[in-house]
């Protein structure tokens, strides 16, 4: 029997085969959240940080370029939590046409995360956040990668559990609700998301993420889907103007505490402690993103000055590097609409000025990396 001291978040129910599955109660919590001065202060700090992030990105010449790279950074971190080894550079090389032989599946999983994120954000324009949309996004996430045999796009039809890799249910740290209850419980979560209650949006988001991870509605990909849910919810309810707040790095950095806080909600009803942890992450990650946006703007201005007196092709290449910071001559030639030799010549000048760094894949195949940009993103 799990060590439960409160049924505020739900109860453990013994199943016919003997294991204890957790059945969550509908949100919001009952008894209601205790909005202590500490929790209100953290909520205020997180709200301010998000507002500043929105303002900072509005000042960027092309916020969409920043968002494009930040989505990829999030994809890398979120996938790494699940055990993939692909880096941001691996992903960018993959998108530029190079398939690595050492970890192609890992890189494809990260690429799928990017596709699922973009697909979900586009669908939100015509479909509300719902079980239906989450299933569609899940299908994109697992398309053609590990887990693709585990009913992508459908809620699970079997019992799952959280525990050591390769372990059995007897080794489980936590057992989510039985599969036959999933539709009902996810329907309750969907009702909460659509409920026009006065709960502050960030608190609602924190509660929803925890509840989703407790339900674990899919056979695979629940961690990634739960982290995607945070961004979708913040954008859907208008808390963020642009999809720029990604908590995977924070969860990865504080992984043990993250899991412990979620489990404390189930066992002790510690919603407030979880929300403090969650809001602290929102505040820290928003501040970090704002700082990176400013550094990227400064880098762009500095390098524009550096190539300012040169050809128009050089300016175009610099703009291209903020979209594709890893490229080869063929890709540059295609995007710049110039000859292969013309692209090669301008890349050579960038190499001479240390704006690009060459990476030899073979004697005949070279990639070029806009390292200063990737360094700011944290690679």
Q: What is the pLDDT of residues 20-71, one digit of tens each?
A: 999 999 999 999 999 999 999 999 999 999 999 888 877 776 778 778 888 8
* pLDDT of 101 strictly over 80: no
Determine the Cα–Cα distance for residues 288 and 269; give it in Å rounded to an integer. 31
Q: What is the pLDDT of residues 251-300, one digit of tens each?
A: 999 999 999 999 999 999 999 999 999 999 999 999 998 888 889 889 98
Domains of the chain: 10-32+63-282 (1.10.3290.10), 308-377 (1.10.10.10)
Determine the Cα–Cα distance for residues 296 and 373; give it in Å rounded to an integer. 7
Residues 327 and 321 sit within 8 Å (Cβ to Cβ): yes
pTM here is 0.90
Q: What is the pLDDT of residues 287-305, one digit of tens each?
A: 998 888 889 889 988 998 8
Radius of gyration of the chain from Cα atoms? 23
Q: What is the pLDDT of residue 144?
A: 87
* pLDDT of 147 strictly over 90: no
Residues in the chain: 379
Determine the Cα–Cα distance for residues 41 and 338; give it in Å rounded to an integer. 55
Q: What is the pLDDT of residues 215-229, one digit of tens each?
A: 999 999 999 999 999
Residues 135 and 154 sit within 8 Å (Cβ to Cβ): yes
């Amino acid at each position: 029997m799990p060590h439960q001291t409160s049924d505020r978040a739900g109860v453990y129910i013994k199943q016919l085969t003997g294991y204890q599955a957790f059945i969550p109660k509908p949100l919001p919590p009952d008894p209601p959240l205790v909005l202590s001065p500490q929790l209100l202060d953290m909520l205020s700090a997180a709200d301010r940080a998000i507002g500043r992030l929105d303002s900072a990105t509005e000042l960027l010449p092309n916020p969409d370029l920043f968002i494009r790279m930040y989505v990829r950074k999030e994809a890398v971190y979120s996938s790494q939590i699940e055990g993939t080894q692909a880096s941001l550079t691996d992903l960018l090389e993959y998108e530029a046409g190079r398939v690595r032989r050492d970890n192609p599946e890992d890189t494809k999983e990260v690429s799928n995360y990017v596709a699922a994120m973009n697909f979900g954000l586009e669908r939100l324009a015509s479909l509300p956040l719902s079980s239906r949309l989450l299933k569609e996004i899940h299908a994109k996430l697992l398309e053609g990668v590990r887990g693709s045999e585990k009913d992508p796009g459908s809620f699970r039809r079997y019992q799952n559990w959280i525990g050591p890799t390769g372990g059995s249910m007897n080794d489980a740290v936590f057992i989510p609700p039985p599969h036959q209850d999933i539709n009902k419980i996810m329907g309750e979560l969907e009702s909460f998301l659509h409920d026009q209650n006065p709960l502050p949006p960030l608190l609602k988001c924190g509660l929803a993420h925890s509840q989703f991870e407790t339900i674990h509605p899919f056979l695979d990909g629940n961690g990634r889907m739960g982290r995607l849910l945070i961004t979708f919810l913040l954008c859907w309810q208008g808390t963020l103007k642009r999809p720029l707040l990604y908590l995977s790095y924070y969860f990865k950095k504080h992984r043990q505490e993250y899991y412990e806080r979620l489990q404390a909600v189930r066992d002790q009803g510690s919603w407030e402690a979880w929300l403090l942890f969650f809001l602290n992450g929102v505040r820290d990650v928003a501040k970090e993103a704002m700082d990176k946006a400013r550094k990227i703007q400064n880098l762009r201005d500095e390098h524009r000055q550096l190539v300012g007196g040169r050809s128009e092709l050089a300016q175009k290449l610099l703009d291209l590097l903020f979209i594709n910071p890893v490229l080869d001559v063929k890709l540059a030639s295609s995007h710049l609409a110039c000859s292969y030799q013309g692209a090669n010549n301008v890349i050579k000048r960038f190499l001479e000025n240390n704006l690009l760094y060459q990476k030899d894949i073979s004697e005949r195949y070279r990639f070029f990396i806009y390292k200063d940009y990737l360094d700011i993103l944290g690679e």
